[in-house]
Amino acid sequence: MSTVIETGEQPSLRPERTPTGRRVLMCRPEYFTVVYRINPWMNPAEPTDTSVALEQWQALYDTYLRLGYDIELIDPIEGLPDMVYAANGGFVVDGIAYGAKFTYPERQPEGPAYMDWFRRAGFDVRAPREVNEGEGDFLLVGDTILAGTGFRSDSLSHVELGSIFGREVVTLRLVDPSFYHLDTAVAVLDPTPGREHIAYLPTAFDAESLAVLQQRFPDAILVNETDAAVLGLNSFSDGYNVVIASRATDFERQLREHGYNPIGVDLSELLLGGGGVKCCTLELRS
Protein backbone atom coordinates (compact mmCIF):
# COMPACT_ATOMS: atom_id res chain seq x y z
CA MET A 1 0.00 0.00 0.00
CA SER A 2 1.16 3.55 -0.64
CA THR A 3 1.51 5.86 2.32
CA VAL A 4 0.90 9.56 2.74
CA ILE A 5 2.30 11.08 5.93
CA GLU A 6 0.95 14.39 7.05
CA THR A 7 3.28 17.04 8.42
CA GLY A 8 2.79 19.88 10.85
CA GLU A 9 4.68 22.33 8.68
CA GLN A 10 2.75 25.50 8.01
CA PRO A 11 1.30 25.35 4.46
CA SER A 12 1.91 29.07 4.03
CA LEU A 13 5.66 28.46 4.25
CA ARG A 14 5.72 25.93 1.42
CA PRO A 15 6.12 26.80 -2.24
CA GLU A 16 2.83 26.45 -4.09
CA ARG A 17 2.71 23.23 -6.09
CA THR A 18 -0.04 22.32 -8.53
CA PRO A 19 -0.81 18.80 -9.76
CA THR A 20 -1.59 18.30 -13.42
CA GLY A 21 -3.11 15.30 -15.15
CA ARG A 22 -0.91 12.47 -16.35
CA ARG A 23 -1.39 9.77 -18.97
CA VAL A 24 0.96 6.85 -18.60
CA LEU A 25 1.75 3.45 -20.10
CA MET A 26 2.50 0.47 -17.85
CA CYS A 27 3.14 -3.26 -18.24
CA ARG A 28 2.18 -5.91 -15.69
CA PRO A 29 5.22 -7.98 -14.53
CA GLU A 30 3.59 -11.31 -15.29
CA TYR A 31 6.87 -12.77 -16.52
CA PHE A 32 9.21 -10.85 -14.26
CA THR A 33 12.29 -12.71 -13.06
CA VAL A 34 16.06 -12.21 -13.18
CA VAL A 35 17.68 -14.74 -15.48
CA TYR A 36 20.53 -12.62 -16.87
CA ARG A 37 22.69 -9.75 -15.66
CA ILE A 38 22.86 -6.49 -17.60
CA ASN A 39 23.17 -4.06 -14.67
CA PRO A 40 24.73 -4.17 -11.18
CA TRP A 41 21.35 -4.66 -9.50
CA MET A 42 20.67 -7.97 -11.24
CA ASN A 43 21.88 -11.29 -9.84
CA PRO A 44 20.39 -14.45 -11.37
CA ALA A 45 21.56 -16.42 -8.33
CA GLU A 46 19.30 -14.37 -6.05
CA PRO A 47 15.71 -15.67 -5.95
CA THR A 48 12.89 -13.50 -7.28
CA ASP A 49 9.18 -13.86 -6.64
CA THR A 50 6.90 -12.97 -9.54
CA SER A 51 3.81 -12.94 -7.32
CA VAL A 52 5.41 -10.35 -5.02
CA ALA A 53 6.44 -8.27 -8.03
CA LEU A 54 2.84 -8.35 -9.25
CA GLU A 55 1.50 -7.27 -5.84
CA GLN A 56 3.95 -4.39 -5.60
CA TRP A 57 3.31 -3.29 -9.17
CA GLN A 58 -0.45 -3.39 -8.47
CA ALA A 59 0.07 -1.05 -5.50
CA LEU A 60 1.80 1.41 -7.82
CA TYR A 61 -0.99 1.07 -10.38
CA ASP A 62 -3.62 1.63 -7.67
CA THR A 63 -1.75 4.70 -6.44
CA TYR A 64 -1.88 6.20 -9.91
CA LEU A 65 -5.59 5.42 -10.14
CA ARG A 66 -6.24 7.24 -6.86
CA LEU A 67 -4.32 10.23 -8.21
CA GLY A 68 -6.62 10.30 -11.23
CA TYR A 69 -4.04 9.36 -13.85
CA ASP A 70 -5.11 7.92 -17.19
CA ILE A 71 -3.37 4.53 -17.34
CA GLU A 72 -2.83 2.52 -20.51
CA LEU A 73 -1.52 -1.05 -20.46
CA ILE A 74 0.66 -2.95 -22.90
CA ASP A 75 0.42 -6.74 -22.85
CA PRO A 76 3.49 -8.43 -21.37
CA ILE A 77 5.31 -10.93 -23.57
CA GLU A 78 6.64 -14.21 -22.24
CA GLY A 79 10.40 -14.32 -22.41
CA LEU A 80 10.78 -10.55 -21.93
CA PRO A 81 11.03 -10.24 -18.13
CA ASP A 82 12.17 -6.60 -18.22
CA MET A 83 9.18 -5.43 -20.24
CA VAL A 84 7.66 -4.21 -16.95
CA TYR A 85 10.12 -1.31 -17.14
CA ALA A 86 7.90 0.55 -19.58
CA ALA A 87 9.85 3.80 -19.41
CA ASN A 88 12.56 2.22 -21.54
CA GLY A 89 10.10 1.45 -24.34
CA GLY A 90 10.21 4.87 -25.99
CA PHE A 91 9.87 8.63 -25.56
CA VAL A 92 6.56 10.35 -26.30
CA VAL A 93 6.12 14.10 -26.73
CA ASP A 94 3.67 16.11 -28.88
CA GLY A 95 1.98 12.91 -30.02
CA ILE A 96 5.25 11.63 -31.50
CA ALA A 97 6.66 8.35 -30.20
CA TYR A 98 10.40 7.88 -30.69
CA GLY A 99 11.02 4.16 -30.39
CA ALA A 100 13.68 2.42 -28.34
CA LYS A 101 16.65 0.47 -29.69
CA PHE A 102 18.08 -1.48 -26.78
CA THR A 103 21.76 -2.01 -26.05
CA TYR A 104 21.57 -5.61 -24.86
CA PRO A 105 20.20 -8.46 -27.00
CA GLU A 106 18.08 -9.69 -24.09
CA ARG A 107 15.89 -6.58 -24.30
CA GLN A 108 16.00 -5.79 -28.00
CA PRO A 109 12.61 -7.43 -28.84
CA GLU A 110 10.93 -4.93 -26.50
CA GLY A 111 11.59 -2.06 -28.93
CA PRO A 112 9.33 -3.34 -31.74
CA ALA A 113 6.69 -4.47 -29.23
CA TYR A 114 6.37 -0.97 -27.79
CA MET A 115 6.41 0.67 -31.22
CA ASP A 116 3.55 -1.63 -32.29
CA TRP A 117 1.58 -0.46 -29.26
CA PHE A 118 2.30 3.21 -30.06
CA ARG A 119 1.02 2.72 -33.62
CA ARG A 120 -2.19 1.05 -32.45
CA ALA A 121 -2.70 3.89 -29.96
CA GLY A 122 -2.50 6.45 -32.77
CA PHE A 123 0.91 7.98 -32.11
CA ASP A 124 3.21 9.17 -34.88
CA VAL A 125 5.93 6.53 -34.50
CA ARG A 126 9.54 7.26 -35.43
CA ALA A 127 11.74 4.17 -35.62
CA PRO A 128 15.19 4.80 -34.14
CA ARG A 129 18.43 4.52 -36.05
CA GLU A 130 20.58 5.01 -32.96
CA VAL A 131 20.79 3.00 -29.75
CA ASN A 132 18.58 4.51 -27.06
CA GLU A 133 16.50 3.29 -24.14
CA GLY A 134 13.62 5.71 -24.25
CA GLU A 135 12.46 7.67 -21.26
CA GLY A 136 15.01 5.84 -19.16
CA ASP A 137 17.55 8.28 -20.59
CA PHE A 138 15.34 11.10 -21.92
CA LEU A 139 13.60 13.46 -19.49
CA LEU A 140 11.47 16.44 -20.52
CA VAL A 141 12.00 19.51 -18.34
CA GLY A 142 10.25 22.61 -19.60
CA ASP A 143 10.97 22.81 -23.32
CA THR A 144 14.30 21.02 -22.93
CA ILE A 145 15.11 17.31 -23.08
CA LEU A 146 17.78 16.12 -20.68
CA ALA A 147 19.48 13.15 -22.33
CA GLY A 148 21.67 10.61 -20.59
CA THR A 149 24.58 8.66 -22.03
CA GLY A 150 27.52 6.67 -20.73
CA PHE A 151 26.01 3.21 -20.26
CA ARG A 152 22.96 2.62 -22.42
CA SER A 153 21.81 5.34 -24.83
CA ASP A 154 24.38 6.38 -27.45
CA SER A 155 25.05 10.12 -27.63
CA LEU A 156 24.21 9.92 -31.35
CA SER A 157 20.62 9.26 -30.30
CA HIS A 158 20.59 12.74 -28.76
CA VAL A 159 21.12 14.24 -32.19
CA GLU A 160 18.36 12.05 -33.60
CA LEU A 161 16.11 13.06 -30.71
CA GLY A 162 16.64 16.76 -31.36
CA SER A 163 15.90 16.41 -35.06
CA ILE A 164 12.65 14.56 -34.38
CA PHE A 165 11.23 16.83 -31.69
CA GLY A 166 12.81 20.16 -32.57
CA ARG A 167 13.70 20.83 -28.96
CA GLU A 168 16.92 21.62 -27.17
CA VAL A 169 18.66 18.42 -26.06
CA VAL A 170 21.18 18.62 -23.22
CA THR A 171 23.61 15.71 -22.98
CA LEU A 172 24.50 14.45 -19.50
CA ARG A 173 27.14 11.75 -19.00
CA LEU A 174 26.57 9.13 -16.31
CA VAL A 175 29.64 7.65 -14.64
CA ASP A 176 28.35 5.31 -11.92
CA PRO A 177 27.24 1.92 -13.29
CA SER A 178 24.63 1.58 -10.54
CA PHE A 179 22.88 4.60 -12.07
CA TYR A 180 23.00 3.49 -15.67
CA HIS A 181 19.88 5.31 -16.85
CA LEU A 182 19.27 9.03 -16.39
CA ASP A 183 15.97 8.39 -14.61
CA THR A 184 17.84 6.62 -11.80
CA ALA A 185 19.92 9.75 -11.11
CA VAL A 186 17.48 12.59 -11.93
CA ALA A 187 13.86 13.07 -10.89
CA VAL A 188 11.75 15.64 -12.74
CA LEU A 189 9.59 17.18 -10.04
CA ASP A 190 7.96 19.92 -12.10
CA PRO A 191 8.44 20.00 -15.89
CA THR A 192 6.25 23.08 -16.39
CA PRO A 193 8.03 25.77 -18.46
CA GLY A 194 9.02 28.57 -16.14
CA ARG A 195 8.69 26.36 -13.04
CA GLU A 196 11.26 23.69 -13.89
CA HIS A 197 12.41 21.79 -10.82
CA ILE A 198 14.43 18.60 -10.47
CA ALA A 199 16.26 16.46 -7.94
CA TYR A 200 19.47 14.60 -8.69
CA LEU A 201 22.46 12.66 -7.35
CA PRO A 202 25.61 14.73 -7.97
CA THR A 203 28.05 11.81 -7.91
CA ALA A 204 26.24 10.05 -10.77
CA PHE A 205 27.65 12.54 -13.33
CA ASP A 206 30.98 13.58 -14.76
CA ALA A 207 32.29 17.03 -13.86
CA GLU A 208 31.08 18.73 -17.04
CA SER A 209 27.54 17.37 -16.73
CA LEU A 210 27.38 18.25 -13.04
CA ALA A 211 28.34 21.83 -13.89
CA VAL A 212 25.50 21.95 -16.44
CA LEU A 213 23.00 20.74 -13.85
CA GLN A 214 24.24 23.22 -11.26
CA GLN A 215 24.01 26.11 -13.72
CA ARG A 216 20.58 25.21 -15.10
CA PHE A 217 18.92 24.10 -11.86
CA PRO A 218 20.43 26.06 -8.95
CA ASP A 219 17.39 25.27 -6.76
CA ALA A 220 17.46 21.51 -7.40
CA ILE A 221 17.11 19.04 -4.55
CA LEU A 222 20.37 17.14 -4.02
CA VAL A 223 19.67 13.58 -2.94
CA ASN A 224 22.02 11.55 -0.76
CA GLU A 225 23.67 8.25 -1.68
CA THR A 226 21.49 6.25 0.71
CA ASP A 227 18.23 7.31 -0.91
CA ALA A 228 19.68 7.01 -4.40
CA ALA A 229 20.75 3.44 -3.60
CA VAL A 230 17.09 2.38 -3.23
CA LEU A 231 16.31 4.19 -6.51
CA GLY A 232 14.62 7.00 -4.64
CA LEU A 233 15.22 9.32 -7.59
CA ASN A 234 13.45 6.89 -9.89
CA SER A 235 10.19 8.62 -9.04
CA PHE A 236 7.17 10.05 -10.86
CA SER A 237 5.66 13.47 -10.22
CA ASP A 238 2.59 15.35 -11.38
CA GLY A 239 3.94 18.64 -10.09
CA TYR A 240 2.59 18.11 -6.57
CA ASN A 241 2.25 14.41 -5.81
CA VAL A 242 5.57 12.57 -6.10
CA VAL A 243 5.47 8.78 -6.02
CA ILE A 244 8.79 7.55 -4.64
CA ALA A 245 10.47 4.50 -3.12
CA SER A 246 9.14 4.20 0.42
CA ARG A 247 12.66 3.65 1.79
CA ALA A 248 13.91 7.01 0.45
CA THR A 249 13.09 8.74 3.74
CA ASP A 250 15.38 11.76 3.53
CA PHE A 251 14.23 12.48 -0.02
CA GLU A 252 10.68 12.33 1.32
CA ARG A 253 11.60 14.95 3.92
CA GLN A 254 13.20 17.18 1.29
CA LEU A 255 10.15 16.91 -0.96
CA ARG A 256 7.84 18.01 1.86
CA GLU A 257 10.08 20.97 2.63
CA HIS A 258 9.76 22.01 -1.02
CA GLY A 259 5.96 21.83 -1.01
CA TYR A 260 5.43 18.43 -2.60
CA ASN A 261 3.33 15.52 -1.41
CA PRO A 262 5.55 12.41 -1.47
CA ILE A 263 3.79 9.05 -1.65
CA GLY A 264 5.91 6.03 -0.81
CA VAL A 265 5.51 2.65 -2.50
CA ASP A 266 7.50 -0.54 -2.05
CA LEU A 267 8.90 -1.91 -5.31
CA SER A 268 11.74 -3.84 -3.67
CA GLU A 269 11.12 -6.95 -5.78
CA LEU A 270 11.35 -5.00 -9.02
CA LEU A 271 14.49 -3.33 -7.68
CA LEU A 272 16.14 -6.75 -8.10
CA GLY A 273 15.92 -6.09 -11.84
CA GLY A 274 17.28 -2.57 -11.48
CA GLY A 275 14.01 -0.65 -11.72
CA GLY A 276 11.70 1.46 -9.59
CA VAL A 277 8.66 3.71 -9.86
CA LYS A 278 9.75 5.70 -12.91
CA CYS A 279 11.09 2.64 -14.72
CA CYS A 280 7.58 1.19 -14.57
CA THR A 281 6.03 4.39 -15.93
CA LEU A 282 6.17 5.78 -19.47
CA GLU A 283 4.50 9.17 -19.83
CA LEU A 284 2.31 9.63 -22.90
CA ARG A 285 2.29 13.29 -23.90
CA SER A 286 -0.16 14.14 -26.67
Boundaries of domain holding 131: 19-283
Per-residue confidence band for 146, with pLDDT thresholds at 50, 70 and 90: very high
Q: Is the pTM for the entire model greater than 0.75? A: yes
For residue 11, pLDDT over 70 is answered with no
Residue 137 near residue 147 (C-beta atoms within 8 A): yes
Number of domains in the chain: 1
Catalytic residues: 181, 279
Look over the chain and give the mean of its residue pLDDT values, rounded to a whole number.
Answer: 95
Residue 264 lies in a domain: yes
For residue 7, pLDDT over 50 is answered with no
Residue 88 lies in a domain: yes
Residue 13 lies in a domain: no
pLDDT digits (tens, 9 = 90+) for 202-223: 999 999 999 999 999 999 999 9
Cα dist from 232 to 124, 183, 220, whole Å:
32, 10, 15
* Percent of the chain's residues with pLDDT above 90: 93
pLDDT digits (tens, 9 = 90+) for 56-115: 999 999 999 999 999 999 999 999 999 999 999 999 999 999 999 999 999 999 999 999
Residue 1 lies in a domain: no
Residue 177 lies in a domain: yes
Residue 11 lies in a domain: no
Q: Please give the Cα distance from 112 to 108 (Å, whole number).
A: 8
Residue 9 lies in a domain: no
Residue 6 lies in a domain: no
CATH number, residue 261: 3.75.10.10
